[in-house]
Structure 1
Amino acid sequence: MTLLYGGIFTTVALAVLLGAQQIQQIIVGQKVQDSPFVGNPGTAPLQDPAVLAKAQADLERTLINSQRVVTVVTLVLITVLAFAVCFWLTGRLLRPVHRITTTARRLSLSTLHERIALTGPRDELKELADTFDAMLDRLEQAVDSQRRFVANASHELRTPLAIQRTAIEVGLADPTPEKVARIRAELLRNTLRSERLIEGLLVLAQGERGLDAHLPVDLEAVVEQVIEDHLPLAVRHGVALDVRTKPVVVSGDEVLLGRLAANLVHNAIRHNHPGGHVTVELSSDAVLAVRNSGPRVPPERVAELFQPFRRLNADRTGSADGAGLGLSIVAALVHAHGGAVRAQAQPEGGLAVTVTLPVAPAA
């Protein structure tokens, strides 16, 4: 745009100046022809020095006045033409901006699929339109994810409530001691499941919001405590734990880091098979790796596991053991601590999840 405007202004100025120069030459030529120094055909030239001096002074004043008039007219013409051409050209150049504005005003939750799709050379406006389209892509994905999250959360919360209502209405219609005990166990199991789901949603929301303060945390101690807490679960599932840790201090929240490690270990044990194994490694540069045996995970579906309520078999299963929030909570907590997480399907089955956290600066 700078080259375009500069070139147009230069062209207009040169054209007007050349025209003004031609006009000025015509005026000067006419004045010279009328000058007493040149004389007219059939007349004798003036010989009086006083008359000649006066005539010369009049000619100089006339030339100066004509030059001023030509200069003023030239400046006015350059200004008018420059503004007219720039106004026309700006309208054409800013047409994509009006298109972007119109699209932005028309957008709503029901029209997020619309795009500007601007064509043309790769200039500033094309880059702006492409950036706007990319923002709309992310916004549409976020809205779809939110809608799916609300639908899945509603389903997960409604399922235990429906089970509890059915158990109360049907099971207690003709109560017997055995039926009451069975209904009590069923109600307790669904209540615990609802509590785990609500707790998971709260932790997920806290992780997405970020941390209020960053404090030094002994990550090795946190991981060892998590392993100790999950030993009974590993024994019940017949899973062997192999733990190798090194001392490292990270910056973050100790409770949330404990929940992060617990989700990784819990998922590795639960999504396993009898006689399987879980390997937990913590390096001195704050890299926590959890690998487990188990069913084969399709590599193209690994990224889905970090989405809320997403399981390999279906979005919503009503499982009593979990709500599909484990790895999504891990991803949110890692992001809140400024770290990175990646997962990889193992060829022999199972999953390998690696979490990298920032090491706390030395005191």
Structure 2
Amino acid sequence: MSRIPRPRRLTARLRLTLSYTLFAVTAGALSLAVVYVGMKYVPNYPLTSANPRYRSDAPSRQEILDSLLNASGYALALLTAVGMAGGWLIAGRVLRPLQDITRAAHRAAGGALEHRIALTGPRDEFTDLSDAFDEMLERLQRSFEAQQRFAANASHELRTPLTITRTMLQVAAADPAGQDWATLVTRLQDTNQRGIEISEALLQLADLGHTPPETRPTDLADTTAQALGAVHDEARTHGITLTADLHPAPTTGNPVLLRQAAVNLLHNALRHNLPAGGRATVTTGTDPATGAARLTVTNTGAQLTPEAVATFTEPFLRGRGRTAQRDPARRGHGLGLAIVAAIAEAHHGDLRLAPAPDGGLHATLTLPAPPPPSPQP
């Protein structure tokens, strides 16, 4: 982006210096003017000596006024010089934090987002600006690093099914007679479906970040009930006991996206559970204090740390890190919780993840309460 041409003008430091000097000279001139005017109203008595034999050399009032006027000119000239020098030093000291912020902004524009101003001193407008700029740099750095990781992980995830497909086709081409074509076609279909799912998830994640969803009054309990029906067979296949306690949870949102959020939370709870004898609990309701709608999904599983849970909404990070599950039925693409977090943000809601005390994950999706009905005329 090219810089906008701007006309040259005095620097801020020089403008402050001239302002300080003008103020000092104006204040001095007014003070001298008051003294001069006051002297003009001093009675003009002839000054004589008390002893007639001594000749009086006392100046007259006009001579005193003339001397005062000359001295005032020299005083104003000296005040101007002192004001310029002092104003220049004071302006430089006042603007020094702004120069630090400017240098940091130039470094950030060059890509050095790790730099922080860390302005010291008492709290004032400059320290507030410095802290806000440091916070902006920190967010930009996190966003930039997350974008880099997302691009690298997306490339890896999309390349994996393509690489597998190429390998299977090369093996089949090298030995056509020794291939089980039914098995090969099935594996190719599964690999292709995985690539499609990843691409669709990426597109959905991108759309949520740019296009606001269409919303209408809905009940989070209804969308969760639909999601439970979609994952019931998967829970039975994994031998996981799925318990639901659904209470009305009215909110304003997009029913399709909210159903997708519930499905993703349930898939995460089922696929990252115990190998056998696992449990998952789903509840919906409202917050008694705020009226916000809540969906809570808790599942058993391995012991998790808060540090690990904090990364679960990062794209392509699975419960076991970057490694997919060996069991195809429990394998995900690492975008489920990231999509839920994006859906919550698009609805001005919140997704909170925490380790369950006995192992597993505790996920809470909170959405704003619906607006109160407008009064009838």
**TM-score of the two chains, using structure 2 as the length reference:** 0.77
**Measured at CA, do residues 165 and 216 of structure 1 come closer, stay the same or move farther in structure 2, by a change above 3 Å?**
same
Aligned residue for 1:293? 300
Residue pair 1:193, 1:322 contacting (<8 A) in 2 also: no
Aligned residue for 1:156? 157
**CA displacement at 1:93 relative to structure 2:** 2.2
Which residues in structure 2 correspond to 1:199-348 (within 5 Å)?
Answer: 199-209=200-210, 211-273=212-274, 274-284=276-286, 285=291, 286-317=293-324, 321-348=331-358
Unaligned runs of 5+ in 2: 1-16
For residue 306 of structure 1, give the secondary structure of its aligned residue in structure 2: coil
The one-letter code sitting in structure 2 at the alignment partner of 1:279 is T
**Measured at CA, do residues 65 and 112 of structure 1 come closer, stay the same or move farther in structure 2, by a change above 3 Å?**
same
**Measured at CA, do residues 318 and 248 of structure 1 come closer, stay the same or move farther in structure 2, by a change above 3 Å?**
closer
Q: Which has the higher helix share?
A: 1
Aligned residue for 1:93? 94
Task: Single out whichever of 74-83 and 328-337 deviates more from structure 2.
Answer: 74-83
**CA displacement at 1:137 relative to structure 2:** 1.8
Give the whole-Å Cα distance in 2 for the aligned partners of 1:221 and 1:115: 48
The one-letter code sitting in structure 1 at the alignment partner of 2:303 is R
Give the whole-Å Cα distance in 1 for the aligned partners of 2:162 and 2:209: 27
Percent sequence identity over matched residues? 38
Matched, 1:350 2:360: yes
**CA displacement at 1:340 relative to structure 2:** 1.4
Give the whole-Å Cα distance in 2 for the aligned partners of 1:126 and 1:194: 50
RMSD between aligned alpha carbons? 3.5
The one-letter code sitting in structure 1 at the alignment partner of 2:180 is K
Residue pair 2:213, 2:346 contacting (<8 A) in 1 also: no
Give the whole-Å Cα distance in 2 for the aligned partners of 1:122 and 1:220: 48
Give the whole-Å Cα distance in 2 for the aligned partners of 1:282 and 1:306: 21
Count residues with an aligned counterpart. 335
Give the whole-Å Cα distance in 2 for the aligned partners of 1:135 and 1:340: 21
Task: Single out whichever of 152-161 and 82-91 deviates more from structure 2.
Answer: 82-91
Among 330, 349, 370, the residue aligned to 1:360:
370
For residue 222 of structure 1, give the secondary structure of its aligned residue in structure 2: helix
Aligned residue for 1:55? none
Give the whole-Å Cα distance in 2 for the aligned partners of 1:230 and 1:44: 121
Residue pair 1:172, 1:180 contacting (<8 A) in 2 also: no
The one-letter code sitting in structure 1 at the alignment partner of 2:334 is G
**Measured at CA, do residues 226 and 61 of structure 1 come closer, stay the same or move farther in structure 2, by a change above 3 Å?**
same
Residue pair 1:220, 1:282 contacting (<8 A) in 2 also: yes
Aligned residue for 1:191? 192
For residue 172 of structure 1, give the secondary structure of its aligned residue in structure 2: helix
Residue pair 1:159, 1:318 contacting (<8 A) in 2 also: no
Task: Single out whichever of 203-212 and 214-223 deviates more from structure 2.
Answer: 203-212
For residue 184 of structure 2, give the secondary structure of its aligned residue in structure 1: helix
Which residues in structure 2 correspond to 1:4-15 (within 5 Å)?
Answer: none
The one-letter code sitting in structure 2 at the alignment partner of 1:327 is L
Residue pair 2:172, 2:179 contacting (<8 A) in 1 also: no
Residue pair 1:171, 1:179 contacting (<8 A) in 2 also: no
Unaligned runs of 5+ in 1: 46-57
1:126-181 C-alpha deviation (Å, 9 max, x unpaired): 33333322322221111111111111110000000000011111123322485221
**Measured at CA, do residues 124 and 233 of structure 1 come closer, stay the same or move farther in structure 2, by a change above 3 Å?**
same
